Copies of this chain bind each other. A is one copy, B any other.
Amino acid sequence: MLKGACIFGQSGGPTSVINASAFGVFDEAIKNPNITRVLGAAHGIKGVLNDQLYDISFEAQGELERLPYTPSSALGSCRYKLADPDKDDTDYKRILEIFKKYDVRYFFYNGGNDSMDTCNKISKYMQKVGYECNVIGVPKTIDNDLYGTDHCPGFGSAAKYIATSCMEVYQDARVYDTGTIIIMEIMGRNAGWLTAAASIATHAGMGPDLIYMPECEFDLDKVIGEIKEVYERTGNCFVAVSEGVKDKDGVFIAEYGSKDGAVDAFGHKQMGGAGAFIASEVKAKIGAKTRAIELSLLQRCAAHCASQTDIDETVMAGRMAVKYAAEENMTDVMVAYERNAKSMEYMTMFKPLPLAQVANTEKKFPLEWINEKHNGITRDFLPYALPLIEGETKIKWEHGVPRFARLNKVLAK
């Protein structure tokens, strides 16, 4: 077996449980005899390129144990796209230099589709230049859109927060006898998993009347008509809409209201605004009291409402990454979730999945769970979703607010 240091890095948008992955990797790596030193990269791959690596041995065990209950990326994250190594290998040479400097033989990278691509490129480069290093992808995304895994760390917690908030807003929005239309905008660029989580509230009797997914064409006139029908029939209307809904020409509804075409480093369009735009249209065309609510960052950082199932599985997935790399000598794989079909009870198993299969492939929401009118989610979604949001976080509180982890972040030399 390889012997040497390990680096763990966090990449992409954070989640409520991304640090649960960190804890799983750190705790398992500290115990593993093949891992001589545990390093955390500041801001993902950027921290490797900039030689900014935290020495985890300087962290108190008590603070590390708070990580699974601490939202956002404790080490810092990044959105950095590595070049095609055949065209420009500058970054790769630098990564190799850093790996050699610290004798890094294990590299764990935590993220979504783009990060698995980063992971895959690094792994292939190291193989090409003959530097022995086991590279493992640790999944993470509230979007739940990673290929080949039953679900993704972070999704269950975001889904639990969204369903809970929908139930609460549903009740708040209908206290007056005067009627209100609520347009709630939920994250999800191309996959509607999070928006679909609002239907859990609906099936509990306190959720959106209408749900619009990015997987279906969004026709503004049809939607206004459907909202009007519900509002006139019931006196209220609660709508959940994905930030990523698009018209028949593929134009984001969010763009209808803004001309700002800013894109991030991966070429993704900057999102936000679909809900506010639809609300202003509804107000103008239906004339009812209308309120747009954007769950915004809250849905991906509300650790106080995380799913304990999600937390537990995420820690375990982090541990599996270390076991794959440093006990089973695997490389170039992501830790994937598999639902045990043989068990009557919900049970998650882990399996290694080749990174090349995962990278840059999106798992859309199944069309068969969207209703015929394309404005709701069927009950068929529930057996899939409910086990993922089961259990309330064991987060610790101090003086009435959560006591999150505080890391020392001592740079390695």
Please report A residues at the B interface, Cβ cutoff 8 Å: 10, 13-14, 42-43, 46, 70-73, 76-79, 160, 163-165, 167-169, 171-177, 182, 200-201, 204-206, 291, 293-294, 296-298, 300-305, 307, 386, 388-392, 397, 399-402, 404, 406
A164-B304, A301-B168 are known contacts. Are A175 and B77 too (CB-CB below 8 A)?
A: yes
The smallest beta-carbon distance between A3 and chain B, in angstroms, is 32
In the complex, what residue of chain B is closest to A391 when comparing beta carbons?
B400
A selection of 25 A-B contacts at a CB cut-off of 8 Å is A14-B172, A46-B177, A71-B171, A72-B168, A72-B171, A72-B175, A73-B175, A160-B400, A163-B401, A164-B304, A164-B402, A167-B401, A168-B298, A204-B399, A204-B401, A291-B297, A293-B297, A294-B294, A294-B296, A298-B298, A304-B305, A307-B400, A389-B400, A391-B400, A392-B397
Q: Which residues of B contact A302 (CB under 8 A)?
A: 165, 168
Q: Kindly list 4 other residue pairs between chains A and B, CB separation below 8 angstroms, not including A168-B304, A386-B399.
A: A70-B171, A78-B176, A165-B298, A165-B302
- A172: contacting residue among B176, B297, B386, B399, CB under 8 A: B297
Question: A14 to chain B: which residues have CB within 8 Å?
Answer: 171-172, 175
Give the complex CA separation of A204 and B391 in angstroms.
27
Write out the residue numbers on chain B whose beta carbons fall within 8 Å of the beta carbon of A204.
Answer: 399, 401
Shortest distance from the beta carbon of A191 to any chain B beta carbon, whole Å:
20
